[in-house]
Chains A and B, each alone.
Chain A
Amino acid sequence: MDKNFQEEFMQITKFEPPLYKQRYQFVKDLVEKYKPKKVADLGCADCSLLWMLKFCSCIEVLAGLDICASIMKEKMHTLSPLPVDYLQPSERSLTVTLHHGSVAHKDPCMLGFDLVTCIELIEHLEESELKKFPEVVFGFMAPRIVAISTPNSEFNTLLPGVKLYRHPDHKFEWSQAQFQSWALETARCYDYSVEFTGVGHPPAGMEKIGFCTQIGVFVRKYPQTGESIQSEKPTEAVYKTVFKAVYPSLKDEKYLQNAVIREVIFTAQIIKHRLMSKREEYSNDPERKSKSQPSMDHFSDYLEKLVVEKNMEPFVSGNEVYIPLATIFSFPKVNRLCGTFEKLCKLIDGKVTLSSDGSAVMFNIEHENEEN
């Protein structure tokens, strides 16, 4: 169902920013506050909330669940990694998965989440589904935090044209009291605490009506359950995975190795280039050497400092240029990627031509001269 759109259509003149954006912002703020690693959005519809959440750098696992596969598929490709994600793999890992299924059913893929959001979901549930919902979400999934939003029926009088419900697919719309009693009962039953808030402020003087969208934020009272308890809940997979994207990450050895090799060779090339052009300058025009302007050239400054400090000078021998790995390792980018010198050596082993003792990157320059 296209709930976002329809509500926007109605209320665009009333709320700024539009209410659906305020709801998403609310979830984003929640993520900022609690820094969850694993987040699931139940009733993710066209994935727009998930798309926003993928930019939150604390999240490593994102999952979406919806009863309607076609609406998820419509825009699911916006959740795929971008070309640039491959070009510059990020530090964090991120996996995005979309499941087709019902919140009335348990599936082990929903276990172990830190935050589960149900934004404008429950009012679409049939009575039987709504009955099973607390057991599935709070009992089975048992995430640290659950955020549930739903329309506040008391606000409907302020919405022109709303006769019964805000959306034809809504099975019910609750007043504040109805929602709160349901939420408190659920929280009590599953050992959660709950706080109520909302988005879409009522007009001044009508504060009693409450927010247009009411939200309950549930926080689990008991500590992290851990694997052991989860394994006591054996269930079969009933959801169907419709989409899965694993983002390139430096946590993945493959991407890390590529990035390190890239950085090592590139750094070595620059050092070699400097070395060669200095030699050329010198041999061509010895008197001109002193004229080079060092102030601008951070790189060579840096290099010279290194050489002086640590005696890690690159050198030419015959047709080969040697650039010590220690020099390369001291460059911040390489250093940050590898962490330790041993790791550097391990990652580039066999992928970069090294000197016989393995201490320096080696380039053959004979070939190059031929071409120029």
Chain B
Amino acid sequence: QQGAPGQLHGRQQPQQQPQQQLQQPQQLHVPPAQSEEPGGHGRLRAYENILQERRPEGLQVSSGLQDLSLRDRGGRRRDFHDLGVNTRQAMVHVQESKTGFSGKMIKLTTNHFRLTSRPQWALYQYHVCYSPDMEARRLRSVLLFQHEETIGKTHAFDGSILFLPKKLDSKVTELFSRTRNGEDVKITVTLTNELPPTSPTCLQFYNIIFRRLLKMLNLQQIGRNYYNPSDPVSIPNHRLMVWLGFTSSILQYEENIMLCADVSHKVLREETVLDTMHSLHSQVGEERFRDTCAKELIGLIVLTKYNNRTYRIDDIDWDNSPKGTFRKSDGSEMTFVEYYKKQYNIEISDWMQPVLISQVKRGRGNIQGSVALIPELCSLTGLTDKMRSDFSMMKDLAIHTRLPPEQRQRELGRLLTYIQKDDNVQKELRNWGLSFDYKSVSFTGRVVQGEKIFQSGTMFDYNPQFADWTKETRGVPLIRAVPMDSWLLIYTRRNYDVANTLLQSLFKVTPSMGIRMSKPNMIEVDDRTESYLRVLQQRVTPDTNIVVCILSSSRKDKYDAIKKYLCTDCPIPSQCVLARTLSKPQTIMTVATKIALQMNCKMGGELWSIEIPLKQVMIVGIDCYHDTVSGRQSIAGFVASLNQPVTRWFSRCVVQSRGQELVDGIKACLQTALRNWSKWNKCLPSRIFVYRDGVGDGQLNTLVNYEVPQFLDCLKSIGTDYSPRLTVIVVKKRVGARFFAEIGGGLRNPPPGTVVDTVVTRPEWYDFFIVSQTVKNGCVAPTHYNVVYDTSQLKPDHVQRLTYKLCHMYYNWSGIIRVPAPCQYAHKLAFLVGQSIHREPNLMLSDRLYYL
């Protein structure tokens, strides 16, 4: 749930070494109680800077909303909605219209609700100053609100800026208060701004007010969203609890300000971190205990027993314990045991447990200090990667979280009913002069025509509803089949039979694909990492096409070691298969077919193609992986097409430790990609499309202002006479928008190929949504595309169509996927490097899809 912070690293300052913090446990802080919350003055200033940077010039900056009673969690305040990044204005060809035209019309509804304000509505912004000056924020508000009869009951005040729904009688109002010391204070309230409903400050303001409303409805805030704790779903098999809640954001959309609300599920674990530690201990034993804890726990978000905050576990301090001490704000020292007893009447029962460390970030992502947490007092939230890979757990969860369209809208309707029925909420809205349309917005979208799949000269039709052509292309020769003349098959003695089964099945399925396959070198090894590595060192030759390893368990270290060796020291494509996958006779042929296709791609083969009407075009995909555990690296995967039908891909990746700029590395990648493209095509591409995935909320500005200019620089550096047309598209999978097709009086998922470029898009952007895949359960999620830079001169329709076409080209799935294939390839690459290899793979492999 928590957005990965600092995905671009563009704005981060060098940070303190966490190590330093750990060696001085007495400097740790315990989480403050509400009453001890530090004042917001330092934060205020930092935030003003950010706002000023982000605002277009000439716009009055109205800061300071952060210190309203509804502050964001942890004092962090980011512009999650990328307000004020106006990229469309620079693109002349989409000034008039950014909509496409092809395809069939389809009636859609969405999860957006219009926000309406009474006519001539405005928000009045006042500056409040005190003479003599009053330092403390609370005192400032006490003194000001002695004059509620003048100011009114409805207000939002952060200590210096006051928002009112009504205009005071005069521009400058002078008020007189007296402190309890009998000191007379003159308060001057000066009107600084009359904000129209659409101003960026107003949008922030609406969001804050809306959060106030959710709180009034007694929903619990966890992270950024609000959840209803009164009716949880319990999944005892896995000790999970699911809370239903809502995400909400209010933004200026194409024609209206709308609330985009969606159902959200929070998975909570019914056990403390200490419980988890105990069960890990019994699973892995003493020796691997600490490592396992670090792997399983670091990066997770915990809730504490005594306050309503979330913390991220950044480290575990094994040398500390509840008996350890920390320094309080008044300088005195106290043990954790004493503190929790005194402050919260909580008795810590296990005095031997380690202490969790959470770094507190303030302002612009700088680490300001650490907070120590006691495992026994923390509950885990969310899912670990390990849990995600637990098929039965995910299945049990999906029953509760994958809501089909009708049900999803019904749940959403419940939220709106709460809002409508609650007197206090309605009163608050009325006081501010705001209201909602309680019926969601409807409009028409388009379903573009399905793409034809070509394989070895044959064109295949498939049912576009299913978005899948596995059946249609089964047993058809591939576009380019790479022979397997020399290959290794490595297995343990226990898996001898499985290896033979795989081999025989491969011999059955490969001929029809056109893959020539010789008998492999069958090698038996002990089930130890060193044995696998020794065999690889001894038996892999430069002629080896591919290495197939059958692994008996999903233990990651073996897989990592094999991949690391074969991707860096000895660059040969490899295929690892779990023995279990091959053990079921009824599915073995399907599995063998998939493995054969995958291996062919890894060796540089090509499976199918679609029609790409543009000539001399290079398509680039970029995605990031953030290693939260070891070393805190960030990895950018970069892939670029090499040929006209976009069936071959060049790849590189950038490995950066924390705080470094990913951008510089990406520039170098683009340079080598262009070199390789020109080697393949004997010229340079005249068009370049960059699909950029992995851009976090609030990072668009960085991307537009740092990364895009770097691309342009890079192109300039190729030659003075070289100026290709460049299009940069930001791809976002996690969006709040959901679309539902109104079919036969009910709500269904819209079919693949549904394009939305009106009503729910943003006026300041050249953006659109595409629903490209189908889902069996739940609601399909549209993907958001934001064209942030475009000199292609192509019509929006063509950009949309090209994007949709590219969703058909991911070779690990014979169907349409959620993002353009280059993004998925880049993701796969970054994931492999981030999870297993941890450094840039050997460039010898760079023209093959070895990372599939």
Q: Are A83 and B282 in contact (CB under 8 A)?
A: no
Give the total number of A-B pairs whose CB atoms are below 8 A apart. Answer: 111
- Identify the stretch in B10-18, B176-184, B787-795 within 8 Å (CB) of chain A at 4 or more residues: B176-184
- Rounded to whole Å, the gap between the CB of B183 and the closest CB of chain A is 8
A237 at interface (Cβ–Cβ under 8 A)? no
Residues of B within 8 A of A264 (CB): 236
Roughly how many angstroms separate A163 CA and B330 CA in the complex, as a whole number? 30
Residues of A within 8 A of B183 (CB): 161
B318 at interface (Cβ–Cβ under 8 A)? no
Q: Are A51 and B34 in contact (CB under 8 A)?
A: yes
Roughly how many angstroms separate A57 CA and B306 CA in the complex, as a whole number? 13
B352 at interface (Cβ–Cβ under 8 A)? no
Contact for B234 among A55, A261, A284, A296, CB less than 8 A:
A261
Q: Are A84 and B379 in contact (CB under 8 A)?
A: yes
Residues of B within 8 A of A161 (CB): 181-183
Q: Are A168 and B236 in contact (CB under 8 A)?
A: no
Residues of A within 8 A of B392 (CB): 368, 371
Roughly how many angstroms separate A284 CA and B234 CA in the complex, as a whole number? 35
Interface residues of A in 339-357 (CB under 8 A from B): none
Contact for B282 among A9, A77, A81, A297, CB less than 8 A:
A297
Roughly how many angstroms separate A352 CA and B270 CA in the complex, as a whole number? 18
Residues of B within 8 A of A131 (CB): none
Interface residues of A in 46-71 (CB under 8 A from B): 48, 51, 55-57, 70
Q: Of all chain B residues, which has the CB nearest A363? A: B237
Q: Are B241 and A87 in contact (CB under 8 A)?
A: yes
Q: Are B270 and A87 in contact (CB under 8 A)?
A: yes
A78 at interface (Cβ–Cβ under 8 A)? yes
- Binary contact readout B303-327 vs A (1 if CB under 8 angstroms, 0 otherwise): 1111110000000000000000000
Q: Are A83 and B229 in contact (CB under 8 A)?
A: yes
A366 at interface (Cβ–Cβ under 8 A)? no
Interface residues of A, dominant DSSP: helix
Q: Are A82 and B34 in contact (CB under 8 A)?
A: no
Q: Of all chain B residues, which has the CB nearest A351? A: B236
Roughly how many angstroms separate A81 CA and B239 CA in the complex, as a whole number? 21
Residues of A within 8 A of B227 (CB): 83
The verdict on A258 contacting B234 (CB below 8 Å), with A82-B307, A371-B391 known, is yes
Q: Are B379 and A83 in contact (CB under 8 A)?
A: yes
Roughly how many angstroms separate A88 CA and B303 CA in the complex, as a whole number? 12
Q: Are A75 and B239 in contact (CB under 8 A)?
A: no
Interface residues of B in 247-305 (CB under 8 A from A): 268-270, 272, 281-282, 285-286, 303-305
Q: Are A269 and B237 in contact (CB under 8 A)?
A: yes
- Rounded to whole Å, the gap between the CB of A192 and the closest CB of chain B is 28
Interface residues of A in 138-176 (CB under 8 A from B): 161-168
Contact for A265 among B34, B179, B236, B268, CB less than 8 A:
B236
Q: Are A167 and B180 in contact (CB under 8 A)?
A: yes
Residues of B within 8 A of A17 (CB): 330
Q: Of all chain A residues, which has the CB nearest B148? A: A70
Q: Are B303 and A74 in contact (CB under 8 A)?
A: no
Residues of A within 8 A of B153 (CB): 70
- Rounded to whole Å, the gap between the CB of A150 and the closest CB of chain B is 15
A6 at interface (Cβ–Cβ under 8 A)? yes
Highest count of chain A CB atoms <10 Å: which of B178, B181, B379:
B181
Q: Are B215 and A86 in contact (CB under 8 A)?
A: no
B459 at interface (Cβ–Cβ under 8 A)? no
B142 at interface (Cβ–Cβ under 8 A)? yes
Residues of A within 8 A of B35 (CB): 48, 51
B334 at interface (Cβ–Cβ under 8 A)? no
Q: Are A55 and B136 in contact (CB under 8 A)?
A: no
Roughly how many angstroms separate A77 CA and B282 CA in the complex, as a whole number? 40
The verdict on A262 contacting B270 (CB below 8 Å), with A6-B180, A87-B241, A299-B282 known, is yes
Highest count of chain A CB atoms <10 Å: which of B34, B142, B236, B286:
B236
Roughly how many angstroms separate A241 CA and B814 CA in the complex, as a whole number? 61
Contact for B237 among A86, A162, A265, CB less than 8 A:
A265
Residues of A within 8 A of B269 (CB): 87
- Binary contact readout B188-230 vs A (1 if CB under 8 angstroms, 0 otherwise): 0000000000000000000000000001001010100001010
- Rounded to whole Å, the gap between the CB of B246 and the closest CB of chain A is 15
Roughly how many angstroms separate A372 CA and B78 CA in the complex, as a whole number? 44
Q: Are B286 and A296 in contact (CB under 8 A)?
A: yes
B139 at interface (Cβ–Cβ under 8 A)? yes
- Rounded to whole Å, the gap between the CB of A4 and the closest CB of chain B is 9
A298 at interface (Cβ–Cβ under 8 A)? yes
Roughly how many angstroms separate A133 CA and B269 CA in the complex, as a whole number? 49
B463 at interface (Cβ–Cβ under 8 A)? no
B439 at interface (Cβ–Cβ under 8 A)? no
Contact for A55 among B138, B268, B306, B580, CB less than 8 A:
B306
Residues of A within 8 A of B391 (CB): 371
A5 at interface (Cβ–Cβ under 8 A)? yes
- Rounded to whole Å, the gap between the CB of A314 and the closest CB of chain B is 17
B232 at interface (Cβ–Cβ under 8 A)? yes
Q: Are A262 and B234 in contact (CB under 8 A)?
A: yes
- Rounded to whole Å, the gap between the CB of B138 and the closest CB of chain A is 5
Roughly how many angstroms separate A25 CA and B241 CA in the complex, as a whole number? 37
Roughly how many angstroms separate A31 CA and B303 CA in the complex, as a whole number? 28
- Rounded to whole Å, the gap between the CB of B263 and the closest CB of chain A is 18
Roughly how many angstroms separate A235 CA and B222 CA in the complex, as a whole number? 42
A293 at interface (Cβ–Cβ under 8 A)? yes
Roughly how many angstroms separate A78 CA and B33 CA in the complex, as a whole number? 10
Roughly how many angstroms separate A6 CA and B140 CA in the complex, as a whole number? 11
Q: Of all chain B residues, which has the CB nearest A170? A: B180
Highest count of chain B CB atoms <10 Å: which of A2, A75, A82, A164:
A82
Roughly how many angstroms separate A298 CA and B282 CA in the complex, as a whole number? 8
- Rounded to whole Å, the gap between the CB of B344 and the closest CB of chain A is 5
A10 at interface (Cβ–Cβ under 8 A)? yes
Q: Are A5 and B379 in contact (CB under 8 A)?
A: no
Q: Are B282 and A80 in contact (CB under 8 A)?
A: no
Roughly how many angstroms separate A266 CA and B304 CA in the complex, as a whole number? 23
Highest count of chain A CB atoms <10 Å: which of B153, B307, B308:
B308
Residues of B within 8 A of A166 (CB): 180
The verdict on A74 contacting B282 (CB below 8 Å), with A48-B35, A57-B345 known, is no
B69 at interface (Cβ–Cβ under 8 A)? yes
B346 at interface (Cβ–Cβ under 8 A)? yes
Q: Are A5 and B308 in contact (CB under 8 A)?
A: no
Roughly how many angstroms separate A84 CA and B266 CA in the complex, as a whole number? 13
The verdict on A80 contacting B218 (CB below 8 Å), with A9-B139, A75-B34 known, is yes
Roughly how many angstroms separate A163 CA and B286 CA in the complex, as a whole number? 68
A16 at interface (Cβ–Cβ under 8 A)? yes
Roughly how many angstroms separate A80 CA and B236 CA in the complex, as a whole number? 25
Residues of A within 8 A of B344 (CB): 55
- Binary contact readout A73-114 vs B (1 if CB under 8 angstroms, 0 otherwise): 011011011111011100000000000000000000000000
Roughly how many angstroms separate A167 CA and B182 CA in the complex, as a whole number? 9
Roughly how many angstroms separate A165 CA and B180 CA in the complex, as a whole number? 8
Q: Of all chain B residues, which has the CB nearest A242? A: B424
The verdict on A82 contacting B234 (CB below 8 Å), with A10-B181, A296-B282 known, is no
The verdict on A16 contacting B142 (CB below 8 Å), with A6-B180, A86-B232, A87-B270 known, is no
Roughly how many angstroms separate A368 CA and B580 CA in the complex, as a whole number? 13
Q: Of all chain A residues, which has the CB nearest B229? A: A86
Q: Of all chain B residues, which has the CB nearest A6? A: B180
Roughly how many angstroms separate A269 CA and B232 CA in the complex, as a whole number? 22
Q: Are A372 and B580 in contact (CB under 8 A)?
A: yes
Roughly how many angstroms separate A2 CA and B580 CA in the complex, as a whole number? 68
Q: Are A5 and B236 in contact (CB under 8 A)?
A: no
Q: Of all chain B residues, which has the CB nearest A371? A: B391
Q: Of all chain A residues, which has the CB nearest B142? A: A2
The 5 closest A-B pairs by CB, nearest first: A265-B236, A161-B181, A262-B236, A55-B345, A167-B180
Pick 6 A–B contacts, CB within 8 A, sort by A: A10-B181, A82-B305, A86-B232, A165-B180, A261-B236, A371-B392
Residue ranges of B at the interface with A (Cβ–Cβ < 8 Å): 34-35, 69, 136, 138-139, 142, 153, 178-183, 215, 218, 220, 222, 227, 229, 232, 234, 236-237, 239, 241, 243, 268-270, 272, 281-282, 285-286, 303-308, 330, 343-346, 379, 391-392, 494, 580
Q: A84-B379, A284-B494, A299-B282 given; name 7 further pairs at CB < 8 Å.
A: A10-B181, A57-B345, A75-B34, A80-B220, A81-B229, A87-B303, A266-B237
